[in-house]
Amino acid sequence: MSEMLIDYYKAIEDSSVKMLEAALAKDWDGVVRYEGTCAVLIEQLRTKATEEELLPEHRREKMRIMQRILRNDAQIRCLAEPWLMQFEHMFDAQPQFMH
């Protein structure tokens, strides 16, 4: 039954890889879509983790998966930063209205 729990970690990692691939392709809608998938999976993982524990032999695999997810996240942030700054400047360029 614990294999189910590790499968959530694997699915989150898979979505993070897809997010990175979308970011590399500058497909920001895709990044947002996969980010939503990750959020759903994380919530499902939280629920499942209250029902069962990870087997000791899966804990090491979980740590490797988490490290890869963090690396993917860091790369996505580096790729998104210029896009976010450009997006921010679009709002800075809007005329300010006085109330």
What is the spatial distance between Cα 76 and Cα 98, in angstroms, rounded to a whole number? 37
User: Residue 23, class by beta-carbon neighbours within 10 Å (0-12 exposed, 13-18 middle, 19+ buried)?
Assistant: buried
**Strand, coil or helix: what is 91?**
helix
* pLDDT band (50, 70, 90) for residue 12: very high
* Structure-token match 């980010």, residue found: 35
pLDDT greater than 80 at residue 65: yes
* pLDDT band (50, 70, 90) for residue 90: low
Question: If residue 55 lies in a helix (H) or strand (E), which one and from where to where?
Answer: none
Other CB atoms closer than 10 Å to residue 53's CB: what's the count?
Answer: 12
The beta-strand segments (E) located in the chain are: none
Q: What helix, strand, coil percent values describe the chain, rounded to 5?
A: 85, 0, 15
Tens of pLDDT, residues 40-61:
999 999 999 999 999 898 999 9
Put simply, whether the predicted model's pTM sits higher than 0.85 gets the answer no
Residue 1's pLDDT is 47
Residue 84's pLDDT is 66
